[in-house]
Each structure stands twice: as C-alpha cells, then as structure tokens.
Amino acid sequence: MSERVERGALRVDAALAEFLEAEVLAPLGRDAADFWQGFEQLIRSFGPRNIALLDKRDALQAKIDLWHSSRRGQPHDPAAYRAMLEDLGYLVPEPEGFTIGTENVDPEIATRAGPQLVVPVLNARFLLNAANARWGSLYDAYYGTDALDAPAASGPGYDPQRGAAVIAAGRAFLDLALPLENGSWSDLADGDGIPLADPAQYLGKTAKGRMFCNHGLHVEVVFDRDHPIGRTDAAGIADIRLEAALTTIVDLEDSVAAVDGADKLLAYRNWLGVIRGDLEASFDKGGKVQTRRLADDVTVELPDGGTKVLPGRSLLFVRNVGHLMTNPAILLPGNAEVPEGIMDAVVTSAIGALDVTGKTRWPNSRCGSIYIVKPKMHGPEECAFTNDLFDAVEDLLGLDRHTIKVGVMDEERRTSANLSACVQAVKDRIVFINTGFLDRTGDEIHTSMRAGPMVRKGAMKNSVWLDAYEKRNVAIGLSHGLSGKAQIGKGMWAAPDRMRAMLQEKCNHLLAGANTAWVPSPTAAVLHALHYHERDVFEIQPELPPAPGLDALLTIPLAEGTNWSAEEIAEELDNNCQGLLGYVVRWVDAGVGCSKVPDINDVGLMEDRATLRISSQHLANWLLHGVCTQEQVMDALRRMAAKVDAQNAGDPDYRPMAGEWQTHPAFRAACELVFEGTRQPNGYTEPLLHQWRRKVKGKG
C-alpha cells in the first residue's frame, strides 16, 4: 500500500497530496488546510447522495427484472411496459419548454463545427498529439492512408505517382471549399493575388502561406518553393494545412485503466501539464530520441496591417469518471474509498482554475470556462447531482457560478428516455450532449436482460430503438437551444485504418445535425474536417424533422421468433469472445485502457470498456435465455484465447492465455465478465476490471 498522509479525517496518497499542494494549490494562492477541510466537507455532503443514487439504479433494475420475469412466455406488451416504467419513476414527466442559459462558451463549442478527438490521459505522447491536432496536413493524411482511390506508395521513399494523386485531390478540395472567381486552383501560377469567388474567405498571410476560412474552419495553403513538393509545383504549393480537431476530450474514464493513487496521480499530472502548457514526451523513433511539445499559436498578418492569432491547439474538455466507481487514492474514516467522480470533479477543476485565472502559458478557454464531460449518468436526478456537485466545487475553489461547464453523455437508457429533463437539470452549464452507441447498447441489453434473448450484436445497428435514439438526441438538443450555445455530438469511427470508408460514411453525422463527431486519430480529424467544408451544419439543423416518439426509443431489440442455426450461434459466440479477450488482456495485464485491437477478422478497431460492455452483456443475455450453454461459451473463450495469443505474438511482454485457464488473470476476468454479467451493476465492466488489474499490479 502506498504511503499516506492525514488531511483532517482524510488519508491521502502522499504523492497525490504533495502534487496538489505544491503544483496546484500554491500557484492558485489557496491555503492547503482550508482546501482539505472544504474537500472533506464536500465528500461528506455528496458521498451519501452518490450512494443513494446508485442504490436507486439497483432498485429500479430489480423491479424491471421482476416485471419481465413475471411475464415470461408472454408476448412483449409495449403499452404495459411503458406504463410500468412510468409507475416506477423510471420515466419522468416531460418538462415544459425551456432554453438553456449557458454563457461564456468558447466558439469552438458554441458556434463552430468540426471534428472531436478523445484521448487517454495516461499517455502523454498521445495527449500531445491530440492537443496539437488542431492543425494537420491534408497532404500527409491523403498520402499515408487509404483515403484516396489511388495506388499505394511503391516503397519507403516518396512515390511521385501517389504524390501527384494527393496534389490533385488537394486542389479538388480547394476548388470546393475556396472556389476561385474563374478557373481552378490547379491552374494557379503563384500565391499572389488569388482571385477568390468570395474575397471574404481570405484572412491574411502566415509565415509560409495564406490563410483562408470556410464554414468557420481555417485553411492554410503553404507556399514554399524550397520544399521538395513546392519545388515541383506550378504554384509552389507545398502543403494544405487544415484546422481539424477544434476540441479534444482528455479522458480519465473509459479509455484508461486507472485503479489506484499512482494511476490517478499520473492522470492528474498529465492534465496539469497540458493545461499549464509545459507537458513534454520523449520517445525513440528510428533510433533517435524525439521530444514532443505543445504547438504554438498561428499568427496571421491581416490585409489592413494588423495581426490575428489563431489557437495552435485543440480546445480541451476533461472527461471525469461517472458516479459508480471509488478509488483508494483518498480514504475516508473506516478505510472507505472516496467516490472517484467526486475526486475527479475537485482535482480536475482545481487544475482548470489555473487556466481561468491566467496562470498558464496559453489559455485553454478564452471565455473563462472549465469544460468537464460527465459520462454514464442515469436520468435527471443524477444530472442534478452533478450540477449541485459542480456548484460546491466552484464554491470550494472560489470560482464564479457556472464557471464549470458540463457535457452530458447520452449513453444510458434512462438518460435517453428522459433527455429533456436531464438537459433541464444542468441547463445553465450544459455545453455538450453526445450519443454513445456502444455504452448505450450495453445498457439497452442489461436493462431488458430478462425480457428475452436479444438480436445478434451486429443487428443492433439496424434496430428501431437505435434509429430513434440518434434522431431524438439531436432534435431534443435543438429544441432546447443548444445550437449556437453548445455541441451536439456523435460517436466514434472505430476503424482508424479505414479512412476511405470513413470519408464515405461519417458525413452522415453532419446530415443528422451534429456539429461535432468523434474520430480515432489526428489524421482522421483532418479527413473528417473535409465534411464540414462540404456542408454547413448550422444550415442543416433548422431543416431536420421533429424527434421520433418515445415508444420507438423504448422498443426492446428482442429476437422474438428467431431460430438461429448452430453455425450462427457459434459465429456470434466467437465474435464476442474474441473481442472480449483481445481487450481484457491488454487492460488487465498491461493497464492499457484503449488501443487498436484486432477483431476476429484481424481488422484493427479502437476498443475501450464500452465495446467490452456490449460483448459481455450480450453473452450473458444469450446464456440466461438458453440460446447457448456455458460449455459452448467456455469452448469459444478457449479457442479465441489462442487466436488472441497469436494476434499478440509480436509483443515480447505479452503473457499467453492458452492453457492457463485457471491462473491467467485476464482470462479469468473475461470469464467473470460473462458468467457474472447479469449481476454487474447496469452491466458495467469496471468493478471486475479494477479488481483484476489491482491483483496484477499487486504482484508487480
């Protein structure tokens, strides 16, 4: 156990206490004793409320389970089902019309549309890459991916044929986003006197190029005849740099494996570094040590002789953990662990206070706000709890009311079904709602676990409830005035190596009215930015239809009347078990919370706990209803363990699972996630993952 120090009745990880007092509170000019006293009072006030909300989750689920069990063998009755949810208080009355009152919101969130990254806070290099993904090279994005319908590069060096395809695609983009008065960018002879059809799109000169703007996104055309590309280009264009990831979510939740004080300290230290502006990461690349730092701002010389400074880095949110988990970084009397969401709210906000008080190298928020994404809230009561908690944190830190803004992840069924009431509960600080298909599907399965066997996992994407969910989220957000004040977002493109498919499909997020959507990498952010140049989301939003009815959202994805073949069942089990094991072995053994994990067809997919929640809950559902047996699942787990071992054969630190069925911690964790899936709180994977990860860390 790590060394601890007493701070009032709290017993705090000594390194965490030193970090907070020396690197956060001292620069803020805050008295440490007063802070800890206030922190303790806040925990005593909100801790019992937190527990009561979790107890209500369990009580509601138990009553829903009982209702479904009592009707076993009968056809599902949607009207009776909805009446039951209303009687339970699972569904609350729709609030009367209201408009959110959020103020002091940065334009990247309120009035501009563009890609959004989510990055695990524990990896400083990835964090810097994401923060610097505000700007990216379109030429690099085209050249290094499958985005273009053109032959791949024919070797390690520069391929002129592929380069020509990249340049042609770049010119086609410029013709679309920045059309000339006459002719094409392909005919341009130099960078002087560019005759735009709309001269207002021209902003000014940069150090090596010209800056333009389209649909609120900036485009820098780099002219450099000393550059290898610019030297051979008729106009001397060496690159096209796009403003890409306007915002980034720095994640302390689903994409990280943080189970103790040491993990949390690293998370908070990296958050401090990126906010303060001095985070660095050194790494070996090609035998040379490189050091990555945050990018500088971009200065533009305006035609009138003045200058304009554009941010060089993405505007940062920080995603706290939800209400469920506790963490031993701080212990209460009796050695009870502090609710992790409360700890995150205080510590990440204290670090954010350095920004709003001007004690950082660059401002993150130019409007004096701290942006926190709050995931996995169940219904309006839990949103109201978060609102009150943020009030108390602001009082503790001496911040003005509503300095702390909140992003509400619409990823739990009770939130989706009561979204208007959830928005109303945080109406003066909300800056973000976002659909999360993966967690939302996991909760869909768990909530209706005993209603019957669910459709196959892949078929979920065509379900009635999902279509209603995605459309209702946008329509409800628009009805309460989020457009122009907050983000309405959509979820992740999970295949980072399939950029051509992303370009073809992810434009649907704009057409649905979302002014941001998640991408898996800085390169993907550059390519997704192209969609926002093609269409203006704020022109699309007023033309969207009203929200689908609640009954559609409450349609349970049951496989009524379906008789799967033995081959179909085996295929589904293998698919779920392979994905489950491929992720769990990295989480438990290596402490990697998010990575590109090969699927059963060896396609690399970005995986986090949300995907694991679906697989484990789906298997638990089929077991419960006799679609498969425990022996069949164990057989699939053992066979897929061998496949996952083979997929990780190139990792010298990897410990194979095959044959170690009783002793391998990751394999045992995977089994428990499935066979104890019906008993996990709301189907969450965190309790078991944390338990097994702590065992591995405890053994060194």
Residues marked active site are found at 319, 608
User: What Cα–Cα distance (Å) separates residue 151 from each residue in 140, 280, 424, 692?
Assistant: 15, 37, 52, 46
SS3 track for 392-447: HHHHHHCCCCCCEEEEEEECCHHHHHCHHHHHHHCCCCEEEEEECHHHHHHHHHHH
Contacts 24+ apart (CB under 8 A), 620-626: 620/449, 620/674, 620/675, 620/677, 620/678, 620/683, 621/445, 621/449, 621/453, 621/454, 621/677, 622/453, 622/454, 622/569, 622/572, 622/573, 623/674, 623/675, 623/677, 624/449, 624/450, 624/678, 625/452, 625/453
DSSP state of 558: B
User: Which one, of 567, 132, 140, lies nearest residue 315 by Cα?
Assistant: 132
Q: Which two tokens stand for residue 614?
A: 């679906």
| CA atoms lying within 13 Å on the CB side of residue 40 | 16
Q: What values do phi and psi take at 223, rounded to 5?
A: -105, 120
Measure the N-to-C terminal CA separation of the chain; round to a whole number of Å.
12
Q: Would you tell me how many other CB atoms lie within 10 Å of the CB of residue 15?
A: 18
Residues 6+ apart with CB under 8 A from 571: none
Beta carbons of 575 and 600 less than 8 angstroms apart: yes
Beta carbons of 277 and 294 less than 8 angstroms apart: yes
Angle between helices 665-675 and 566-585 (to 10 degrees): 130
d(CA 427, CA 94): 15
